[in-house]
């Protein structure tokens, strides 16, 4: 039972354009959402997060949007750079579940120069 | 630069052998997770500890996997006996709910 879903296994974007990565969740108890980025042979690294009391959080080129009614969040990268090529994982947590992170399957982003 | 240290980085073993993976969490972090990355499932939670006490190990096959934290500086994940389907990358992470830090992982291959 996949509570966090990333339905696009991969995405290819031209350098300088916007990358939009999507994530859906099924559990309405989730109250905190995170994006992690992973390069080959390395562990995932924290990128950006958002609390359920917000609908947007921005950090430089990265913006996360949360639509609670649709149980959907997205990560926007503008402008995309070749160094952004990596696997992006969406994750969610809930205080009721001890704040353990539930991850999606990941989306491979390729930024072409 | 604080980091989570995992050993070994790579492990190749024969089916039926015991495998032990080790993790040194960041000093002061009281929550430690074990995740497994597979192609099909992404990052699966195997077990996690808070203040060294196991909170949830429901993601772990109990008959062959065990996870412990003998002290605050060491977490272990053991597989006995190992099977080819256990081949994956195993990650340890420590931190707070607002940003966990992952180690570089142990790539396990069971032949």
List all residues of chain B from 45 to 104 with a beta carbon under 8 Å from chain A: 45, 48, 50, 55-56, 91, 93, 97-104
Distance, CA of B81 to CA of B79 (rounded, Å): 6
Distance of CA A113 to the CA centre of its chain: 23
Q: Which of B82, B81, B52 is nearest to B67 (CA)?
A: B52
Chain A partners within 8 Å of B4 (Cβ): 43
3-state secondary structure of B69: strand
Q: Smallest CA–CA separation between B10 and chain A, in Å? A: 10
Q: Tens-digit pLDDT profile for chain B (111 aa)?
A: 689 999 999 999 999 999 999 999 999 888 999 999 987 668 999 999 988 998 888 889 889 999 999 999 999 999 999 999 999 999 999 987 677 899 999 999 999
**Nearest residue, CB atoms, A101 vs list B4, B41, B100:** B100
- The 10s digit of each residue's pLDDT in A68-104 is 999 999 999 999 999 999 999 999 999 888 888 899 9
Q: Smallest CA–CA separation between B74 and chain A, in Å? A: 18
Determine the straight-line distance between the first and last CA of chain B, rounded to whole angstroms: 36
Q: Smallest CA–CA separation between B22 and chain A, in Å? A: 15
* Interface mutation target, options B31, B33, B43, B95, chain A, most CBs of A under 10 Å: B43
Distance, CA of B27 to CA of B3 (rounded, Å): 9
Q: Is the per-residue pLDDT at A41 higher than 90? A: no
The pLDDT score that the predictor gives to residue A66 is 98
Residue with more model confidence, A59 or B97: A59
- Cβ neighbours of residue B103 closer than 8 Å, sequence gap 6 or more: A43, B3, B4, B5, B6, B23, B91, B92, B93
Chain A partners within 8 Å of B98 (Cβ): 32, 49
Chain A partners within 8 Å of B45 (Cβ): 100-103
Tokens 């062959």 correspond to B64
Instruction: List the Cα angle B25/B40/A63 in 5-degree steps.
Output: 65
The pLDDT score that the predictor gives to residue B41 is 67
Q: What is the dihedral angle through the alpha carbons of B103, A18, A21, A73, rounded to the nearest 10 degrees?
A: 110
Burial of A111 from C-beta contacts in 10 A (0-12 / 13-18 / 19+): buried
């Amino acid at each position: 039972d996949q509570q966090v879903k990333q339905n696009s296994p991969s995405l290819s974007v031209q350098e300088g354009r916007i990358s939009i990565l999507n994530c859906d969740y099924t559990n309405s108890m989730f109250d905190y959402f995170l994006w992690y980025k992973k390069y080959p042979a390395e562990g995932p690294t924290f990128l950006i997060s958002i609390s359920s009391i917000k609908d947007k959080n921005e950090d430089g080129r990265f913006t996360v949007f949360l639509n609670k009614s649709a149980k959907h969040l997205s990560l926007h990268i503008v402008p995309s750079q070749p160094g952004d090529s990596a696997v992006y994982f969406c994750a969610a947590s809930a205080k009721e579940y001890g704040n353990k992170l539930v991850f999606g399957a990941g989306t491979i982003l390729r930024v072409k120069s | 630069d604080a980091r989570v240290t995992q050993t070994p980085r790579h492990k190749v073993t024969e089916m039926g052998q015991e495998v032990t993976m080790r993790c040194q969490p960041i000093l002061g972090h009281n929550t430690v997770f074990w995740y497994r990355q597979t192609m099909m499932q992404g990052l699966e939670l195997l077990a996690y500890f808070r203040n060294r006490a196991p909170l949830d190990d429901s993601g772990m096959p109990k008959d062959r996997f065990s996870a412990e934290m003998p002290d605050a500086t060491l977490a272990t994940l053991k597989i006995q006996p190992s099977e080819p389907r256990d081949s994956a990358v195993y990650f340890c992470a420590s931190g707070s709910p607002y940003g966990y830090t992952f180690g570089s992982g142990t790539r396990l291959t069971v032949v």
